[in-house]
Amino acid sequence: MMIVDDEPLLRLALHQMIPWHDFNIQIVCEANDGAEAISFLRQHGDIDVVITDIKMPKMSGIDLLRECNASEICKPPVWIILSANSDYEIVRHTFLLGALDYIVKTELDEEHLIRVVTKAIQTLKLKSTQRISHVEANEWGRTKTEQYISKLIHINPEVEKFEYDQLTARICESIGEVNQVAAVMCIKRQTEPWMSDTKKGSIVAQTIQTVLHSMSIPFLYDRQDADNYVLFLTLPEERSWSASRYKIQFAFQLIKTRIEQYMNMKVSIGVSDTANSRKDWRRLYDQAKQLAAKIYFEGFGRIFYPEHAHVEQDSTKLTAQKEEIKRIIVDFIRFFSLEDKLAWEHKLEQIMKIIVRNKGSDPLVTKEVLADFIWGIGTFLYQKGLRWDELDCKISYPFEAIENSQTLEDTLIWLRQICHSIYSATHESRNTRDEPNSLPVLKAKQLVDSHYRENINLSFICEMVGVSESYLSKQFSKEVGCTFVQYVTNHRIEESKRLLRMNMKISDICEQIGYLNPEHFSRVFKKATGYSPRAYRGKFREIV
């Protein structure tokens, strides 16, 4: 099947609206308009079903049908028309041109689409009950071949040379070996996923396929898990480095933009340089993987190319930095055991600043330091007769959390929460804690505590909790001692203080804590602290 529509988000929505594989239908191509669709049909001519919009730039859906009927450039597909217009004359005209059915976009839902698709399948069976398209056969072969990537990236080419040569030969048989490129794509994991891993993987895979197919780029990909993908591709038609690079940049930027727009999840990609030998596939993958590792330090939302590679740090300097951090960790544990919250918080910020300042090229080195830190506070926790799973945050194995964390920023936020949880469990008496909140207020506080960095408001929280705004507003002030807005603001101000102490840019801080306007953030910060953000940062530097 081919989808023809000038709205990318609508095309993605059609991909996910029904399980196409249950109908033995594979979407193999997308087009922005009728002219692009005609070009694809001239090259391939083996499309069974076309869903096309009516109003599009360059060539409309009506002109597309008319052109296909007149030129006979392909065997006749089954046409399904999609339009925002329900005008009778337009509908009549499409049927005269051979359309099977006409769907108004306002009536487009799963049930309606299934009925139309079932009707299309029955029409195809009448034409040829034994027909299996060339595209489907190719796609079956490609799916089978992608297993070679998974095997190739997990073997040692020097030790298992024969198997490596066989795998690279199969890969090159499938996509060639001219202008080879490898890429590692990572998607930011959601703490509370609103989408299943299966559906996420389906959307990502479909986006990769439609973009690279539409650009005639031969490729294979391997889905390692719901958040990580490996791609091998070639550009056989390009003869210069600059042309290859431009095409690669355009393709990956388009894939990244579509995933971010449709799934609302940040994406980063590490992209290797180019090569022209089957022996280079593993080297290209290792290079792309190393570039993708920059996500840990620099966060999501970027595409990393070879020129962005880290400069390796001097090993002697790196060892000295690790020893410095270890000494500060010892001091931190000493302060942590005292009932001086400001002292250990200040020492914790020092540790975090040093870790951020001394970040190197390998996340494993930083994770080793963080593991040493966890080991130290874990020892303190056990000395107090407590275990990790007895804390408010309910963790059983913190080292696994460090290992699986996608970014250093996420790890440091989590580490700060862990320290507060341990301090609360070991120093704050249950008798001195506040009376328990009512269930709606408790749920509201938990939602704010988890999502205050996002664009949340009282209306959204009330909808999630299931109470009216007037009730929650009144109960929140009564039980918490401040208004809902003030509670959110306090969270954001405390987080902004921490980020200011880490020397983060004020514009970046605004984005991190849910403020869209830096001027508004500055006014709120000054009202809460008596200082502007810049003045507060300067005051902190004087104290340090």
Report how far residue 332's alpha carbon sits from residue 413's, in angstroms, rounded to the nearest whole number.
17
Residue 140's pLDDT is 31
| Burial per residue of 492-502, b for 16 or more beta-carbon CB atoms within 10 angstroms, e otherwise | bbebbbbbbbb
CA distances from 394 to 191, 411, 418, 428 (A): 15, 16, 10, 18
Report how far residue 393's alpha carbon sits from residue 332's, in angstroms, rounded to the nearest whole number.
21
**CA-based nearest residue to 412, from 502, 278, 343:** 502
- Whether the per-residue pLDDT at 143 is higher than 60: the answer is no
Residue 431's pLDDT is 37
Residue 393's pLDDT is 65
Q: Give DSSP secondary structure letters for 129-157.
A: TT---HHHHHHHHHHHHTHHHHHHTTS-T
Residue 433's pLDDT is 42
Strand order of the sheet with strand 78-83?
A: 29-31, 2-4, 49-53, 78-83, 99-104
Instruction: Give me the mean pLDDT over the 83-107 stretch.
Output: 78
Residue 288's pLDDT is 95
**CA-based nearest residue to 122, from 21, 25, 16:** 25
**58 close to 34: Cβ distance less than 8 angstroms:** yes
- Whether the per-residue pLDDT at 538 is higher than 80: the answer is no
Return phi, psi of residue 380, to 5°.
-60, -40
Who has greater pLDDT, 493 or 310?
A: 493
Instruction: Give me the mean pLDDT over the 108-112 stretch.
Output: 83
Who has greater pLDDT, 505 or 390?
A: 505
Rounded to the nearest 10°, the torsion over CA 87, 92, 94, 95 is 140
Find the range with the poorest average confidence among 192-201, 273-282, 469-478, 480-489. 192-201
CA distances from 248 to 179, 181, 229, 251, 443 (A): 11, 9, 16, 5, 46
Find the range with the poorest average confidence among 249-258, 424-433, 451-460. 424-433
Other CB atoms within 10 Å distance of the CB of residue 252: 23
Instruction: Give me the mean pLDDT over the 438-462 stretch.
Output: 85
**CA-based nearest residue to 481, from 432, 527, 441:** 441
Report how far residue 141's alpha carbon sits from residue 365's, in angstroms, rounded to the nearest whole number.
41
**287 close to 273: Cβ distance less than 8 angstroms:** yes
Residue 186's pLDDT is 94
DSSP conformation class of 79 = E
| The two structure tokens encoding residue 494 | 């405390």
Instruction: Give me the mean pLDDT over the 153-158 stretch.
Output: 85
How large a percentage of the chain has pLDDT more than 90? 13
Report how far residue 73's alpha carbon sits from residue 70's, in angstroms, rounded to the nearest whole number.
8
**120 close to 100: Cβ distance less than 8 angstroms:** yes
**225 close to 150: Cβ distance less than 8 angstroms:** no
Residue 361's pLDDT is 64
Residue 394's pLDDT is 63
Residue 137's pLDDT is 32
| The two structure tokens encoding residue 19 | 């399980």
- Whether the per-residue pLDDT at 146 is higher than 70: the answer is no
Average model confidence (pLDDT) across the chain = 81
Rounded to the nearest 10°, the torsion over CA 14, 18, 22, 23 is -60
Alpha carbon 52 to its chain centroid, in Å, reads 29
| The two structure tokens encoding residue 27 | 């979407």
| The two structure tokens encoding residue 270 | 């590490």
DSSP conformation class of 105 = G
Find the range with the poorest average confidence among 101-110, 348-357, 447-456, 534-543. 534-543
- Whether the per-residue pLDDT at 100 is higher than 60: the answer is yes
Who has greater pLDDT, 142 or 41?
A: 41
- Whether the per-residue pLDDT at 206 is higher than 80: the answer is yes
- Whether the per-residue pLDDT at 221 is higher than 80: the answer is yes
Other CB atoms within 10 Å distance of the CB of residue 386: 15
- Give the side-chain half-sphere CA count within 13 A for 428: 13
Report how far residue 244's alpha carbon sits from residue 134's, in angstroms, rounded to the nearest whole number.
28
- Whether the per-residue pLDDT at 97 is higher than 80: the answer is no
**387 close to 421: Cβ distance less than 8 angstroms:** no
Report how far residue 294's alpha carbon sits from residue 270's, in angstroms, rounded to the nearest whole number.
8
- Whether the per-residue pLDDT at 502 is higher than 70: the answer is yes
- Whether the per-residue pLDDT at 541 is higher than 70: the answer is no
**3-class SS at 219?**
strand
Report how far residue 472's alpha carbon sits from residue 460's, in angstroms, rounded to the nearest whole number.
12
- Whether the per-residue pLDDT at 326 is higher than 60: the answer is yes
Instruction: Name residue 210's amino acid.
Output: T
**CA-based nearest residue to 254, from 239, 267, 236:** 267
Residue 399's pLDDT is 79
**533 close to 500: Cβ distance less than 8 angstroms:** yes
Give per-residue pLDDT as tens, 521-534.
Answer: 888 888 888 888 88
Strand order of the sheet with strand 228-234?
A: 219-225, 228-234, 180-187, 267-271, 303-304
Residue 443's pLDDT is 86
Report how far residue 228's alpha carbon sits from residue 149's, in angstroms, rounded to the nearest whole number.
13
